[in-house]
Amino acid sequence: MSTINTRYLGLELKSPIIAGSSNFTSKVESVVEAEAAGAGAVVLKSLFEEQIVSMAHSMASKESYPEADDYLQYYTRTNSVESYLDLVAGARRRVKIPVIASINCFSPQGWTDFAVEIEKAGASALEVNIFFMPTDKHQGSTESEAVYFKIIDNLKRKLQIPVSVKIGLRFSNLLNFVWQMHNHGAAGVVMFNRFYEPDFDIKNMNVVPASVLSNPSEQRYVLRWVGMVSSQDSPIDISASTGVFTGEDAIKYLLAGATTVQVCSALYKRGFKVITEINEALHKWMDGKEFRTIDDFRGKLNYRNIENPSLFERSQFMKHYSSYI
Ligand SMILES: Cc1cc2nc3c(=O)[nH]c(=O)nc-3n(C[C@H](O)[C@H](O)[C@H](O)COP(=O)(O)O)c2cc1C
């Protein structure tokens, strides 16, 4: 009989399937449900850097000019940050699985002290979801990437718990970038976030958001990069995120070398029971293949098994189009 327990960010997980960060993981009761469904861990919804910074400003202005502050605004802002700490602490009390807190940020200063509060509230790890959109043509890729490293450095100086970094899709050389993040102290990388994507409404001539939920065809780009990053010597853990709806989808990411697999859109479409189904499918497939543990097959289809990756890519690309008539 197969076992599907694994280690992620130095934490023991009873399954590699994680309930990813979203509004679905914004309540203690949902975290309890995720555990009951068999999730190996839960990433709580993200707190935004802006929420933390605005709380800090409100506190400062309240101290200096108590009457000048709009109380309601102060309360709402403070409360949202405090209620996040309550969420972390409440989830910690109610479940045994790791509770991973999440902060959506874009800058290295002004909020990182607050991460210590999250650690004190009982988070098992912190996932930083770095939303840094380069909009300045004078800023080169080295400068942009330095923002990520600075965030990791600042957090590593303050926290005992492991830090993972959730990143977007596009980097000049992802292998080098992830390797550097690991050297700066990131224990894991979440590949990838799915940012807001714009679409155009040509009737009303305005910008509208594209679909919020993913679909399985979005896996392929992730599969390639998980396969490439996991083949490197850097021992960073990879959590694959995007387009996982079935056991087969999760198995593909594990074969590519992912340490864990996150589900989010699938929760919106099917509820937490999808995690139970994925775990069952994983056991069934492993039993059929006579794999006892996930390490028996993790990364079996990654780039390590390809002698000359750039020649492989080039030849596959040529074959891909020339064989299509
Ligand atoms: C409605 C919704 C809310 C989300 N909120 C967050 C969030 O607060 N923090 C975060 O890191 N990712 C958030 N995500 C991104 C997901 O965690 C996930 O990375 C992304 O949707 C890709 O995975 P999927 O294909 O399984 O949906 C959200 C996604 C959705 C659909």
Reported as a single tens digit per residue, the pLDDT across 268-283 is 999 999 999 999 999 9
Judge whether 1 lies within some domain.
no
- Confidence class of residue 80 from pLDDT cuts 50, 70 and 90? confident
Tokens found for residue 283: 């056991």
pTM: 0.91
CA–CA dist 130, 128 (Å, integer): 6
Enumerate the β-bridge partners of residue 19.
42, 263
The better pLDDT of the pair 198, 290 is held by 290
Judge whether 117 lies within some domain.
yes
**Ligand 1, atom nearest to 242 Cα:** 25
Q: Burial letters for 136-154: b for 16+ Cβ neighbours within 10 Å, e otherwise? A: eeeeeeeebbebbbebbeb
- Confidence class of residue 68 from pLDDT cuts 50, 70 and 90? very low
Judge whether 236 lies within some domain.
yes
**Ligand 1, atom nearest to 190 Cα:** 19
CB of 132 closer than 8 Å to CB of 147: yes
Using DSSP, state whether 18 is helix, strand or coil. strand
**Ligand 1, atom nearest to 214 Cα:** 25
CB of 165 closer than 8 Å to CB of 186: yes
Length of the chain: 325
Number of domain units in the chain: 1
317 CA to middle of ligand 1, Å?
Answer: 31
Residue span of the structural domain in which 28 resides: 6-322
Reported as a single tens digit per residue, the pLDDT across 248-269 is 999 999 999 999 999 999 999 9
Mean pLDDT of 149-165: 97
DSSP H or E stretch at residue 10: none
- Confidence class of residue 54 from pLDDT cuts 50, 70 and 90? confident
Biggest alpha carbon–alpha carbon distance for the chain = 74
Domain with 21 in it: what CATH number? 3.20.20.70
Start-to-end CA distance of the chain, whole Å, equals: 46
- Confidence class of residue 156 from pLDDT cuts 50, 70 and 90? very high
Judge whether 106 lies within some domain.
yes
Look at residue 65 and tell me whether its pLDDT is greater than 50. no
213 lines ligand 1 (CB under 6 A): yes
Enumerate the β-bridge partners of residue 128.
103, 165
Among candidate residues 271, 171, 277, the one with its CA nearest the CA of residue 221: 171
193 lines ligand 1 (CB under 6 A): yes
Judge whether 279 lies within some domain.
yes
